[in-house]
C-alpha cells in the first residue's frame, strides 16, 4: 500500500504540480537598491561590490574599470572563458562599451553570506523541444570577495 501511494504521489507531482511550477514566471527585482541592504556592513559592502562590478564591467563592458572590482589574483571558474582576470577582460572587450545603467538587467536577487555573494539572474533561452519558442529560467553567479575585491567566480556554465 505504501509503495502504491508513493507511486501515485510521484505520478501526480510529475503530471500536475511540476508543469505548473515550470510555467511560473521568473520575476526580476523591482527595487534593486533594497537588495543591497544588510544588517552586516561587510555583507552590504560585498553585495555592492559585486552589483557594481556586474553593472560596470560585465554589463557595460567598461574593462578599463576592472581594477576597481577584481583582484590581480582573480580566478575564473567558468570553463568556457579561461581562468584569469585577463581572460574575463578579453571576453568583455570583444564588444564595444555601453552606457552604465543604475540596475542589472534581469536581476532577480542578491544574497551574501560570509565572503560569498550570489546573483540570481532571469534568463530567456531557446526551447530546443519547440522550435521558435523560448522558456524562462534562472542562472546563478557566485563570487568570493577578499579585501574589498572579487577574487573568484563560479557559474552554471559548461563546455559545449
pLDDT digits 0-9 by tens, 77-104: 988 888 899 988 888 889 999 999 999 9
Strand partners, 119: 110, 141
Task: Describe the strand order of the beta sheet including 149-155 as a list of residue ranges.
Answer: 70-76, 149-155, 134-146, 116-126, 107-113
Residues 126-145: pLDDT tens digits? Answer: 988 899 998 888 899 999 99
* Per-residue confidence band for 63, with pLDDT thresholds at 50, 70 and 90: very high
- On whether the pTM is more than 0.85, the answer is no
The pLDDT value recorded for residue 20 is: 39
For each of the domains in the chain, give its residue range(s) and CATH number, in order of start: 26-155 (3.10.450.50)
Amino acid at each position: 500500500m505504501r509503495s502504491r501511494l508513493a507511486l501515485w504521489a510521484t505520478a501526480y507531482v510529475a503530471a500536475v504540480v511540476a508543469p505548473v511550477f515550470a510555467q511560473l514566471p521568473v520575476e526580476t527585482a523591482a527595487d534593486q537598491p533594497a537588495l543591497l541592504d544588510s544588517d552586516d556592513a561587510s555583507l552590504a559592502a560585498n553585495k555592492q561590490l559585486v552589483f557594481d562590478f556586474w553593472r560596470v564591467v560585465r554589463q557595460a563592458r567598461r574593462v578599463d574599470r576592472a581594477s576597481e572590482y577584481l583582484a590581480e589574483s582573480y580566478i575564473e571558474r567558468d570553463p568556457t572563458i579561461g581562468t584569469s582576470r585577463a581572460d574575463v577582460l578579453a571576453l568583455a572587450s570583444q564588444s564595444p562599451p555601453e552606457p552604465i545603467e543604475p540596475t542589472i538587467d534581469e536581476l532577480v536577487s542578491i544574497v551574501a553570506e560570509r565572503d560569498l555573494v550570489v546573483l540570481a539572474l532571469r534568463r530567456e533561452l531557446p526551447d530546443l523541444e519547440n522550435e521558435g519558442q523560448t522558456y524562462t529560467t534562472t542562472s546563478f553567479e557566485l563570487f568570493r570577495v577578499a579585501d574589498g575585491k572579487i577574487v573568484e567566480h563560479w557559474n552554471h556554465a559548461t563546455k559545449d
